[in-house]
């Protein structure tokens, strides 16, 4: 499909949806949403004004709306549900997976979440209240409340019959049948193989294994390690009394990992979870928070230049190279930050590896510092026809490259070691220090070689 | 565990491993690897010299080595296998999942991959050769060759017996039993529920459904959309004759998505898939490729400053603010790039949404431009005690913020539209243009207000 016809088709979908919403033609809205992919539907929803979005969501069957919300990024999911009529919102909430319900309740303001919970059926509401207490990055926050569990007195027959009858069996994807005692404590797990191998009258207690389980406070990282070591698709979660309270699936975990990777990459850009469908003022405010703190860092770095205004005035050509040295050192340092962030997230580096990382970065830093220094030195020499200018700029960039990769490589490990998120803090720290060092090196070396520069 | 004791334990593991390798104590090596997590084992492996790494991998059972390689990032996986004795490498290869085998063969140089394939058993080798023809981002590249399939003439009994007997059933995680005709064409799929509901003597043909399947060339994005719309855990892959050639699992796809997200974030840092275990010269070279092209972009931007050296010489205080305007505009622009990259990867933006994005960015750009312009203007005014300097710098940053967010928001969509990877190209393009525009705005406004600036 070429761009023009794609554009036309997009516009048609958009216009028909808009028209159907304006004329309150709920059936047509449902038909359109049904013919497009959920991704395309979410794209349309994200481009709508909030009133239209609320109308559209209200016109859909609760199941359809819930399916869209399950696929939506968190912020859009909240936006789709927060201003709905409470009864409508509650009906949609009841159709969501329990972990999505909990995520939404945690994000809504307490007043509207309370109103929605009141309107939901009591059992679902109790489940959400329970789940939303857990840290979203823990097994408690990642688990589903619905477990595929059986009393210890049951037989193979009862499990196989549930497999046949249970309409929501798909929801238990990856869970093995978990066995609980009278008090609800997890005591065993049975495999499909063992059940098929046994007579239907065999008691579960006779073929069950000791289950591997996690506690609700088990962290996402620990879960990743556990699923890496073991082939299973789901793992049961127990509380501190050993009661079975939920299960985490490999798929849910993989999706959480994907979200975390995206979040990490966003933290570095300082846009958080902004979507352009959010109100302009909110977007502006959130971006300004980081930008205005960045101005302060910039002023600190620029004060180094200000201290050398006499040197600059004498050799004005240096002003051309200050932003270059600052930018090039920033790039070198950010490469080192990038490698450290990746090795940290892959588990290949830890805070204790500081000196290993420093040694490895210094190796690259010496090579790249020399190469870049020579390159920029030659440029400066030829451009301004002054060999000493080349020497000053080249030497400054060489040394600052070494500083930049050393800081860039180690700062993420140090931040992680002291419990600060390196994705947020490493970049600004690096840039400020390398800017200051770069400006200082260029200008102090220029002061040193002033007679030769003016010759 | 506190830092000191963690460090000690790490050192112990490292030293015992080193000692066991040096003394060729294979049993002790295996014991140590067995007691630590695979992530910790990979961390140790990645810090080793290549000779020690090869010795360690050779000392492990092929199954254990294969498990580690399955969990390793691609580059480390290659490094762990490429210099091994061919027979040892082949034994390990035979234990890997078919998709990992294909990934490794595609990365090895043709000589060593050929030697390893020769040493593998003929059937596995043929499978790898077949798989490695597919694009890694397509269903063909993501699928497993092992499928859980049955001839159309079989009965429920034969499937249930295979479920009981098949040791590698875990490998088929998520696959339903697929039914093929005499020619090997995919003709149906049966569900566990339907089988449990039926007598064992029932023919599969009587309870099978029409399967949803994909072609080997189906893209990763299309697969994501398909799994989003449907609850199944696996999907069969057919060739253009309809022959069943493999299956893609939801888990494999989720892992590929995670890798892609990480890769995208890395593309922006220009470090590719570097790990510090790679040779220093290679790391230096790969980083320099981007850095040296960045120097060229910097020279282009700096040439704007060079054209205004007279203005600069007259008002040297401006030199202090040039890097600030450049850095601040870069940050604003990168925020817009970040939001566009995210909306593109979430499917909420497409190249056709250019004007919507531009409109949304201009809204934020006007607000943030005014705010930042006033902020930096006041700083410049007070710092250098010159209201006109404040006006020049503030006005320049305001206008350049507007330029930066417009370019930052739209360039990723334009690049995507013309088929260039925005993660790679958007950042450098943005920085060069905003630097040039920023320098030009500051210096040309300064020329305009020269009398007042010198007053």
**Closest alpha carbon within chain B to A352:** B7
Side-by-side strand order, sheet with A149-151? A149-151, A178-180, A186-189
Q: What is the pLDDT of residue A169?
A: 55
Share of chain B above pLDDT 70, in %: 94
Whether A418 has its CB under 8 Å from any CB of chain B: the answer is no
> Which helix H or strand E contains A95, and what residues bound it?
helix A86-95
CB contact under 8 A, B324 and A339: no
Residues B331 and B257 in one domain: no
Residues B242 and B323 in one domain: no
Whether A173 has its CB under 8 Å from any CB of chain B: the answer is yes
Residues A370 and A224 in one domain: no
Q: Is the dihedral of CA B381, B385, B387, B391 positive or negative?
A: negative
How many other CB atoms are found less than 10 A from the CB of residue A76? 22
Q: What is the pLDDT of residue B1?
A: 42
CB contact under 8 A, B316 and A317: no
CB contact under 8 A, B338 and A266: yes
Side-by-side strand order, sheet with A244-249? A214-215, A234-238, A244-249
Q: What is the pLDDT of residue B164?
A: 81
Q: What is the pLDDT of residue A55?
A: 93
> φ and ψ at B411, to 5 degrees?
-55, -40
Separation of alpha carbons B455 and B442, rounded Å: 18
Closest CA to B108 of B91, B128, B94: B128
Separation of alpha carbons B342 and B261, rounded Å: 10
Name the domain boundary from A133, A159, A178.
Answer: A133
Whether A358 has its CB under 8 Å from any CB of chain B: the answer is no
A38 within a domain of the structure (yes/no): yes
> φ and ψ at B185, to 5 degrees?
-80, 140
pLDDT at B288 over 80: yes
Separation of alpha carbons A233 and B73, rounded Å: 21
Whether B418 has its CB under 8 Å from any CB of chain A: the answer is no
Closest CA to B405 of A384, A381, A283: A283
**Closest alpha carbon within chain B to A295:** B328
Kind of pairing between the strands at B244-249 and B234-238? antiparallel
Whether B235 has its CB under 8 Å from any CB of chain A: the answer is no
Q: What is the pLDDT of residue B370?
A: 96
pLDDT mean over B277-299: 87
| Helix, strand, coil % over all residues of chain B, rounded to 5 | 70, 5, 20
- For residue A368, give the CATH number of its domain: 1.10.357.20
B275 within a domain of the structure (yes/no): no
In a mutagenesis test of the B interface, which of A193, A264, A265 is the best target, namely the one with the most B β-carbons within 10 Å?
A265
Torsion of CA A204, A210, A216, A221, to 10 degrees: -130
Closest CA to A63 of A33, A31, A91, A24: A91
B341 within a domain of the structure (yes/no): yes
Radius of gyration of chain A (CA): 30
CB contact under 8 A, B319 and A339: no
Torsion of CA B5, B8, B12, B15, to 10 degrees: 170
Q: Is B348 helix (H, G, I), strand (E, B) or coil?
A: coil
Say which of B266, B332, B343 has its CB closest to residue A338: B266
Residues A56 and A188 in one domain: no
Residues B210 and B74 in one domain: no
Closest CA to B396 of B371, B377, B383, B368: B377
Residues of B in contact with A294 (CB under 8 A): 327-328, 331
pLDDT at B130 over 50: yes
The answer to whether the CB of B286 falls within 8 A of the CB of B293 is no
Separation of alpha carbons A209 and B390, rounded Å: 75
Domain range enclosing A159: 149-251
pLDDT at B447 over 90: yes
First to last CA, chain A: 65
Residues B257 and B377 in one domain: no
| Burial state string for A255-275 with b = 16 or more CB within 10 A and e = fewer than 16 | bbbbbbbbebbbbbbbbbbbb
In a mutagenesis test of the B interface, which of A34, A171, A269, A310 is the best target, namely the one with the most B β-carbons within 10 Å?
A269
Residues of B in contact with A47 (CB under 8 A): 353, 356
**Tokens representing residue A320 in the block:** 């051309």
Report ipTM for this prediction: 0.80
Q: What is the pLDDT of residue A9?
A: 66
Side-by-side strand order, sheet with B244-249? B214-215, B234-238, B244-249
Q: Which residues contact B92 (CB under 8 A, 6 or more apart)?
A: B57, B62, B65, B66, B69, B81, B84
Whether A321 has its CB under 8 Å from any CB of chain B: the answer is yes
Ranges of chain A with pLDDT below 50: 1-2
Backbone region of residue B242 per phi and psi (left: phi > 0; alpha: psi in -120 to 50; beta: other values): left
Residues B286 and B313 in one domain: yes
pLDDT digits (tens, 9 = 90+) for B159-214: 888 888 776 555 555 678 899 999 999 999 998 888 888 898 999 999 999 989 99
pTM: 0.80
Min Cα distance B23 → chain A (Å) is 24
Q: What is the pLDDT of residue B270?
A: 61
> φ and ψ at A259, to 5 degrees?
-60, -40
**Tokens representing residue A279 in the block:** 């109100």
Residues of B in contact with A313 (CB under 8 A): 313, 316
Separation of alpha carbons A432 and A396, rounded Å: 16
Whether A116 has its CB under 8 Å from any CB of chain B: the answer is no
Separation of alpha carbons B397 and B391, rounded Å: 10
Closest CA to B171 of B180, B162, B179, B183: B162
The answer to whether the CB of A101 falls within 8 A of the CB of A93 is yes
Number of compact structural domains in chain A: 3
CB contact under 8 A, A37 and B229: yes
- For residue A194, give the CATH number of its domain: 3.10.580.10
CB contact under 8 A, A292 and B193: no
Helix and strand totals (H; E) in chain B: 23, 6
Whether A334 has its CB under 8 Å from any CB of chain B: the answer is yes
Say which of A323, A351, A357 has its CB closest to residue B302: A323
Q: What is the pLDDT of residue B171?
A: 52
* Chain mean pLDDT for chain B: 88
Q: Is B104 helix (H, G, I), strand (E, B) or coil?
A: helix
Closest CA to B91 of B127, B68, B124, B49: B124
pLDDT mean over B110-126: 90
- Distances in Å between the Cα of B432 and the Cα atoms of B123, B303, B362, B389 are 53, 11, 20, 24
Residues B83 and B230 in one domain: no
Residues B302 and B201 in one domain: no
The owner of tokens 């992919």 is A37
Residues of B in contact with A312 (CB under 8 A): 316, 319
**Closest alpha carbon within chain A to B436:** A323
- For residue A85, give the CATH number of its domain: 1.25.60.10
B39 versus A236: which is more confidently predicted? A236
Min Cα distance A90 → chain B (Å) is 23
Whether A200 has its CB under 8 Å from any CB of chain B: the answer is no
Q: What is the pLDDT of residue A1?
A: 42
Q: What is the pLDDT of residue B4?
A: 55
Residues in chain B: 455
B142 within a domain of the structure (yes/no): no
Q: What is the pLDDT of residue A109?
A: 85
Torsion of CA B309, B310, B312, B314, to 10 degrees: 160
| Helix, strand, coil % over all residues of chain A, rounded to 5 | 70, 5, 20
**Closest alpha carbon within chain B to A72:** B346
The alpha helices in B270-386, defined as continuous H runs, are 280-307, 309-314, 318-346, 354-384
Whether B142 has its CB under 8 Å from any CB of chain A: the answer is no
By CB atoms closer than 10 A (0-12, 13-18, 19+), residue B299 is: middle
**Closest alpha carbon within chain A to B300:** A324
B143 within a domain of the structure (yes/no): no
Q: Which residues contact B304 (CB under 8 A, 6 or more apart)?
A: B435, B436, B439, B440, B443
Residues A120 and A185 in one domain: no
Compute the C-alpha angle A198/A202/A206, nearest 5°. Answer: 95
B310 within a domain of the structure (yes/no): yes
Q: Which residues contact A423 (CB under 8 A, 6 or more apart)?
A: A264, A265, A267, A268, A341
> Which helix H or strand E contains B241, and what residues bound it?
none
Separation of alpha carbons A310 and A350, rounded Å: 45
The alpha helices in A347-454, defined as continuous H runs, are 354-384, 387-417, 422-448, 450-454
How many other CB atoms are found less than 10 A from the CB of residue A455? 9
Name the domain boundary from A103, A133, A163.
Answer: A133
Residues A287 and A327 in one domain: yes
**Tokens representing residue A185 in the block:** 């404590």
Residues of A in contact with B290 (CB under 8 A): 331, 335
Size of interface A-B (CB pairs under 8 A): 330
B249 within a domain of the structure (yes/no): yes
Whether A375 has its CB under 8 Å from any CB of chain B: the answer is yes
Whether B323 has its CB under 8 Å from any CB of chain A: the answer is yes
Say which of B73, B192, B324 has its CB closest to residue A302: B324
CA atoms within 13 A on the CB side of B261: 24
* Chain mean pLDDT for chain A: 88
Whether A272 has its CB under 8 Å from any CB of chain B: the answer is no
Whether B316 has its CB under 8 Å from any CB of chain A: the answer is yes
Min Cα distance B258 → chain A (Å) is 5
Residues B116 and B203 in one domain: no
A213 within a domain of the structure (yes/no): yes
DSSP-assigned states of every residue in A122-162: HHHHHHHHHHTTS-TTBHHHH-BS---EEETT-BHHHHHHH
């Amino acid at each position: 499909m070429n761009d023009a016809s794609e554009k036309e088709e997009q516009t048609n979908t958009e216009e028909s949806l808009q028209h159907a919403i304006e004329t309150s033609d709920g059936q047509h809205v449902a038909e359109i949403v049904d013919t497009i992919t959920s991704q395309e539907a979410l794209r349309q929803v994200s481009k709508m004004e909030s009133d239209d979005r609320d109308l559209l969501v209200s016109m859909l069957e609760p199941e359809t709306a819930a399916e869209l919300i399950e696929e939506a990024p968190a912020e859009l999911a909240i936006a789709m549900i927060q201003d709905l009529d409470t009864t409508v919102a509650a009906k949609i909430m009841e159709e969501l997976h329990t972990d999505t319900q909990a995520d939404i309740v945690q994000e809504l303001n307490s007043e509207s979440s309370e109103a929605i919970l009141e309107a939901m059926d009591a059992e679902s509401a109790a489940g959400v209240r329970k789940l939303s207490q857990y840290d979203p990055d823990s097994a408690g926050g990642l688990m589903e409340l619905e477990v595929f569990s059986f009393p210890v007195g049951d037989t193979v027959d009862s499990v196989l019959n549930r497999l046949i009858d249970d309409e929501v069996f798909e929801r238990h994807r990856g869970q093995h049948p978990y066995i609980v005692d009278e008090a609800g404590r997890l005591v065993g797990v049975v495999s499909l193989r063992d059940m098929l191998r046994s007579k239907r009258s065999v008691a579960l207690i006779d073929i069950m294994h000791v289950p591997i389980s996690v506690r609700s406070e088990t962290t996402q990282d620990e879960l990743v390690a556990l699923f890496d070591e073991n082939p299973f698709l789901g793992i049961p979660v127990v509380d501190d009394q050993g009661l079975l309270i939920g299960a985490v699936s490999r798929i849910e975990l993989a999706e959480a990992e994907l979200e975390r990777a995206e979040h990490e990459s966003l933290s570095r850009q300082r846009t958080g979870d902004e979507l352009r469908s959010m109100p302009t003022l909110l977007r502006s405010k959130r971006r300004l928070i980081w930008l205005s703190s960045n101005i302060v860092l910039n002023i600190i770095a620029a004060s180094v230049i200000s201290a050398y205004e006499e040197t600059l005035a004498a050799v004005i050509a240096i002003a051309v190279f200050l932003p270059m040295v600052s930018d090039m050192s920033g790039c070198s340092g950010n490469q080192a930050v990038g490698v450290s962030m990746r090795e940290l997230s892959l588990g290949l580096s830890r805070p204790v590896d500081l000196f290993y990382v420093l040694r490895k970065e210094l190796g690259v830093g010496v090579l790249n510092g020399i190469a870049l220094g020579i390159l920029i030195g030659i440029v400066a020499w030829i451009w301004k026809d002054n060999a000493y200018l080349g020497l000053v700029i080249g030497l400054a960039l060489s040394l600052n490259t070494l500083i930049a990769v050393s800081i860039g490589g180690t700062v993420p490990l140090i931040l992680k070691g002291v419990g600060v998120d390196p994705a947020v803090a490493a970049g600004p720290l690096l840039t400020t220090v390398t800017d200051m060092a770069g400006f200082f090196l260029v200008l102090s070396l220029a002061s040193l070689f002033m007679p030769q520069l003016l010759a």
